[in-house]
Amino acid sequence: MVMQRIALAPFAWLYGLVLWMRHWLYDARLLRSVRPAVPTIAVGNLALGGTGKTPMLELVLRVLRGILPIATLSRGYGRSGSDIHEVQAIDKAERSGDEPVQVKRKFPEARVFVGADRVGAIEQIQQDVPDVKAVVLDDALQHRRLDAGLKILLTTWQRPWCDDALLPAGRLRDLPSRRQAADIVVVTKCSALPSAEERSHWRRRLRLSDAQELFFAGIEYDALRLEVGSNPQPSMRPSTGQLLLFTGIADPQPLLDHLRKTATVEHIAFPDHHAFTRPDLERIAHRYATFAPGPKTLVTTEKDAARLGSLKGTPLEVLPLATIGMRAVILNEPERFAELIRRHVGPHQAHR
């Protein structure tokens, strides 16, 4: 790994130079950034996927629950097309992207939009939802053309940006110096709340200013839930002793660790945002039939379920398929985190 990073360092330096020049153009106002009139909250990271952006977006929606109408906006990774589109719960991932469909199904009261042009999409949202109270943006920190009012930057406990390198030597897609733009920094995927001394150490490691808020977040998982249309067990509950898990997410390890606390788990891993094909489903069904004797359950994530679509006529139709949901939870000062979110939205409401 060290030798590979050294070998790729010249390419990372070149990539870093391109990023630096782009940011300089925006900082010097030679390229224009737009601050929308509607309150905007951007959730993003400096690295490639796997930091927990969608669970954090959902946490922000839970904090703002009751403040309606609220909207979310993302690119809709993996969808066909780049047009501005309002997501419906019945949409397929090919049309809207897996994560926006997941968000719409979990938060039916939210107006969920996808669009590659974030500035144009917010203008469209303001036309379609003229009394919108706030727009929560998924993965928008790299979009310098849009200057969000509140910026939440994520990094993982396991691989913070201070221990990483720019692509292709590492997994960083933006300069570590871009941390300075964040109002709130959240270290995600913590197994427990770090001590006060550890939290201070993290602030120094990440080189945060005194004005930047630092939070630590963990993961809570829901109970397994049988999918409608699958073949349930007689008890109408999934069997939790033997689980065959299949995922197409960036970092399945925390989920595996959680399930293996109480069950025997075999895992079939696909790439992040994988579009499941019939041969994939045949492979999963065949492994399910042979991986363990006795009662057992097929398990996947909510994000993956959004990409599966209807199971009717597929090899999984007659199998007990359960999904597992997850939530990001703030471990230190959750009330403070919620206050910062509501405070950002509140003044805008008062002036409407």
Percent of the chain residues past pLDDT 90, beyond the cut: 80
pLDDT the model gives residue 227: 76
pTM: 0.90
Show the low-confidence residues of the chain (pLDDT under 70).
1, 228-240, 347-352
Residue 262 structure tokens: 């109480």
Please tell me the distance from the alpha carbon of residue 133 to that of residue 348, in angstroms, as a whole number: 8
Q: What per-residue confidence (pLDDT) applies to 241?
A: 85
What are the CA-CA distances from residue 33 to residues 26, 53, 73, 74, 136 (Å)?
7, 23, 18, 18, 18
Q: In whole angstroms, what is the distance from residue 110 CA to residue 123 CA?
A: 17
Measured between alpha carbons, how far is 52 from 154 in angstroms, rounded to an integer? 8
Alpha carbons 163 and 328: distance in angstroms, whole number:
23
Q: Where are the domains of the chain?
A: 2-67+133-219+329-350, 223-324
> Quick one: pLDDT at residue 3?
81
Q: Contact, 319 vs 298, CB < 8 A?
A: yes
| One CATH from 1.20.1440, 3.40.50, 1.10.530, 3.90.25 for 2-67+133-219+329-350 | 3.40.50
Residue-wise pLDDT tens digits, 20-52: 999 999 999 999 999 999 999 999 999 988 899
